[in-house]
Structure 1
């Protein structure tokens, strides 16, 4: 009869176990019955995924080999009736999630019916509930299959249970004192709030941004047996706090360059980051020392205090400058962040060739004060395909 799927597609499933062997000739493969039986099983599973739940396959090798010592192989397929999703309804879903859960029902209507798809929808409904605080939700499905195929009406029953409110934040005992301080500060806004996966993920990423952690994981546990109260438990691993780097290069303007960098993401077990850099070129040395507190007064603000020294000695012009800057920043949500900065610098200029009107004052200072606001609605900060950025 008529093939339910393209013959070439079914052949790929049939030959898949054979062609995956390392020693096989892909142009003239020698088949092994066990591999072909496995391939026939894949064809059967593929047909059932398309709604042919009673599909059967039978492998029929030719009784004798041909003159070229090659044996023909036939796969007999009995598809049986096709089943498709009919009316998909949901009972027990929280009213707040009605729009999201109903969208799953709409997508299922008219598609090939199979048990794997039903289980997938059940898991998706559980996931939607979990993402919005119903962490103990369980979904079951009721349906009846007719002998002649056709539409299958499915009723999904959601037992949402209690919606969880975060009452406490705790960390694994293996974290250092500084790491615990940063984690508790970063996740503190969740305390007293209904659990929302998107919001928890936001603070999760902010903790990773500190550079202190190689791995983090969170899990909400019932608090003293109360399913409506949750203890957000944070586990994971810290990175190696101290890194030292060396660099060597050449610039057409500054000439040869070399430098050394140092970074400690948990300085003196405080959770603060100490960074330093010293580099040298033909224009002179440049260096800085900075301290970053990722949770100022255990808040969502971070602050960086930076002291820098720079010498520029090229083309009969010598300038030595020192600068001190303070930057306070906060990310309010996934899209909006801001920072405020205050800086001052002192500079000394000298030259044996240039005159005072040309160089300006021998000693001068600068001060800067300002703020930055960033609003990022791109779908990805690395490889954006849509959105906008201000």
Structure 2
């Protein structure tokens, strides 16, 4: 019976679903699809119903109104009902008027001027409609751009040229940008005297160029200074006065009320020990309330994963004090996850993870991982405290056992380690770590080339990281820099000390809505106290693969013994990528890779496609060698997850 009803519904759906198809006659300046999309809304209402004379008139009115304001001011549209499901719109476009080329003289950044001038003109699919009323608005945007760059007395002239045969109207913008302005000593006017630190900042602003960046920075410093002192409701009015080529800024500051924190308490906790929260916020009591600083502390609390929501309640006492209550909703702390994947390095991967983000209510994070890959297995357990010593210090301790079966050697390594991380603001962090591990190596490479087979490594490391990327998983703008140094001791057949440095700089820039590029530089060295051959092979650097130079399979670049690569002690990498969006999350790219390992240098180019997911890109890429030597591959396909650099 269910099947019969379904079939009947399918058979009668075309009959029961009304709708009018709208066709255009005489349309030249737009496609039918783009025009229907532009007038969607009321037009969709018409198209979902039977065609009538009145609906044909409505459709004609909608389209005519749009065309008159989008480059066809003389357009005349007539609507006709052809049948119950068809409306015909006959269009007489008349003379078209679209914004043509924009020539700029007197200013170096021509593209920026063009973008600002044309931004006020109505945008169609591939061009902008011309209406004279938008000329002055476009010039005003150009003036704002000049002010942004420090030119406060610029003169502009817009010359409208004759309409061309294709309906486009070119413009010439003549710019006399005038002198570059500098800031005078800003005046801070307030019933509450500025702090000495703020007065120093204001004094140092004198002589700086009067750009928007410097002015915004000064405004921000004023607001933050008063908020740190407890004036959370501060408001600013900025007045400007021009004197020659100098800009005098007068800031009228209304501080508002100042509050001292009288008390702090928590609400909503069940599992979590309240003292773990109160110890973090006890420093607020007796101090001026700083909304921004308190907000950062709340954000760090949320980042532990122990809470699903956090809300701060502020209660005014005697117009001078605040009682603070932090309402917390605990998240599900315990759980497990299963992962199945594939990559160029590890091959097939099956992982199981158990976690507890709030162990015994202490906010500590326990994680246990078991992983099997085509190369071997991994087991690790870690315990981290996000607020070590009730400070913004993260202490992580871990124990691990790892087995890897590489083409040139096998290894079994087990060890313990500790890391202490300081996060300074939103973009800079420092990490200090100590690791001790026991490693056993099995390889066909002779001992005099591969180093000791069994050894203990102790390593003390320092890492500094700057991260200004807009999105760490899918960066399209910003930059990233990392510097890692470590001192170590390998104790095998003979004890050998070593010093290692690794550095990285990556830059990302969006070019347009659909294109971007990325540049990466990496390099480093490991310097042993003895001969290179006495350094264990697992401590050396290997290049080649999806994240280094993509004309080689994983870890296959460099000198070898019977086809088994030996690794190196000095290395560098340079990568450049141009990316173009195809549709939705799909992206195509071309790339150039260059690499050096000891005395060998390689160069490669390639193509790839990616699917951009929130956790990072899924990548399929092919790298072709431009420096192929005898015995080296001409090119390699790679499948990987995550950014290249």
The TM-score normalised by the length of structure 2 is: 0.36
Q: 1:191 maps to which residue?
A: 285
Secondary structure at the aligned position of 1:227 is classed as coil
Q: C-alpha distance in 2, partners of 1:307/1:348?
A: 17
* Structure 1 stretch displaced more, 316-325 or 240-249: 316-325
After TM superposition, list the pairs within 5 Å mapping 1:340-355 onto structure 2: 340-351=432-443, 353-355=444-446
Q: 2:458 maps to which residue?
A: 367
Change (3 A) 1:195 1:360: same
Change (3 A) 1:187 1:157: closer
1:101-148: per-residue Cα shift (whole Å, max 9, x none)?
A: xxxxxxxxxxxxxxxxxxxxxxxxx99987963457899xxxxxxxxx
Change (3 A) 1:253 1:386: closer
Q: C-alpha distance in 2, partners of 1:253/1:389?
A: 24
Secondary structure at the aligned position of 1:23 is classed as helix
Alpha-carbon contact 2:272-2:360 (below 8 Å) kept: no
Unaligned runs of 5+ in 2: 1-39, 49-54, 60-79, 82-188, 200-222, 237-251, 483-645
**Candidates 295, 305, 308, aligned match of 1:214:** 308
Q: C-alpha distance in 2, partners of 1:191/1:172?
A: 17
1:211-259: per-residue Cα shift (whole Å, max 9, x none)?
A: 222221213223xx34322223211322211231112233455443211
Q: C-alpha distance in 1, partners of 2:42/2:281?
A: 48
Change (3 A) 1:157 1:365: closer
Q: 2:351 maps to which residue?
A: 259
Change (3 A) 1:28 1:190: farther
Q: 1:147 maps to which residue?
A: none
1:239 matched to 2:331: yes
Alpha-carbon contact 1:249-1:257 (below 8 Å) kept: yes
**Higher share of residues assigned strand:** 2
**Candidates 268, 277, 290, aligned match of 1:173:** 268
Q: CA deviation at 1:208?
A: 1.9
Change (3 A) 1:221 1:349: same
Alpha-carbon contact 1:321-1:347 (below 8 Å) kept: yes
1:259-316: per-residue Cα shift (whole Å, max 9, x none)?
A: 1112110122221100111111233211210001111232322200011110123448
1:276 matched to 2:372: no
Q: CA deviation at 1:389?
A: 5.7
State the aligned residue count.
273
Q: C-alpha distance in 2, partners of 1:350/1:299?
A: 44
| RMSD across aligned positions (CA) | 4.4
Change (3 A) 1:159 1:254: closer
After TM superposition, list the pairs within 5 Å mapping 1:149-168 onto structure 2: 160-161=256-257, 163-168=258-263
Q: C-alpha distance in 2, partners of 1:278/1:200?
A: 38
Change (3 A) 1:299 1:253: closer
Change (3 A) 1:168 1:373: farther
Q: C-alpha distance in 1, partners of 2:190/2:364?
A: 48
Change (3 A) 1:244 1:137: same
Q: C-alpha distance in 2, partners of 1:294/1:319?
A: 32
1:319 matched to 2:411: yes
